[in-house]
Amino acid sequence: MKKVAIIGSGSWGAALGIYLANNGNEVRLWSFNEEEKRSINEDRKCVFLPKAVVPEGVICSTDFKEVLDGAEIILHVTPSKFVRNTIKQYKEYVTDDQFLVMCSKGFESESNLTLDEVMKEELPNVRCGILSGPSHAEEVSLDIPTALVVASESDELKESVVEAFKSTKMRLYTSKDVRGVELGAALKNIIAFCAGISVGLELGDNTFAALATRGLVEIARLGTAMGGNEKTFYGLTGLGDLIVTCGSQHSRNRRAGVMIGKGHTIEEARKEIGMTIESVDNIDVAYKLAQKYNVEMPIVNAVYDVLYNGLDPKTAVDNLMTRSLKEE
């Protein structure tokens, strides 16, 4: 049994808490919202996971010190845009013998940094890692079999996380490719958003498959240029996560893209979905990184123009289809 602190009580944070408590761990869950705290502690429910029951092994608090005190593993699970500010609020309670694992997926838009880089800037002496893979919160909270990857330079961190998670319902692989695992997770959200647009435009399975496949090529191009291992992008945290995010009704990124394809504004999509849409928050970052590393990313460029330059999605598709022909 491990003592686990989870920072963030949204769907993914709550799902991880439910799973880990059911797997015999002691879980403390931090929330910024008093009503969420009450719902979890008294009703044993998370508003984002209506089918799941929160076990007694999960205790929610709005006090960082209470949540972090004595924890062996800290899982950070907030939207990417809140990562740095949240760490600043709790870092005084983190000790060098604790493991900090980033479970959020995305970039810091102000700096274009990966979340791993943000962690290291704020907590340079703490051993850090990334947890990622094809995993919808709704399914993890219901004990549907799932495979994830924990990436870190620290073997002790990886061993500790695997020990907390392993069961017949959860299989964990380990990796040293922190950069590759993180970039696959962040970039696949953008391609899933694009796949959703193709669905909203009613373009069919052929288009969907072509977009997802060529999107993976773009992910691998930028990921390797930024120091990731190409093999990583064709594993669970690249291809696997891309499949589940592009194809599932649970995916906020896909759902947001569908709405754009149907003619809605991004503001309407945000309101309808009601939760953070990481792809929208990070498309401009991917666009800037592609320019910085001189990487060809036509799909990312096209969706950037749709969101920021008013390009019609149908025209964007035509532009992609009429680019100069080349070998695959």
Tell me which residues are annotated as active site: 188
| Helix, coil or strand: residue 282 | helix
Q: Report the C-alpha gap between 245 and 250 in whole angstroms.
A: 8
> What's the chain's length in residues?
328
Q: Encode burial over 62-85: b for 16+ CB neighbours within 10 A, e otherwise.
A: eebeebbeebbbbbbbbbbbbbbe
Judge contact between 51 and 14, C-beta under 8 A: no
- In degrees rounded to 5, what are phi and psi of residue 40? -70, -45
Q: What is the DSSP letter of 73?
A: E
Q: Report the C-alpha gap between 188 and 239 in whole angstroms.
A: 8
Tell me the two tokens of residue 284.
């401009």
Q: Report the C-alpha gap between 160 and 157 in whole angstroms.
A: 5
Q: Report the C-alpha gap between 66 and 58 in whole angstroms.
A: 13
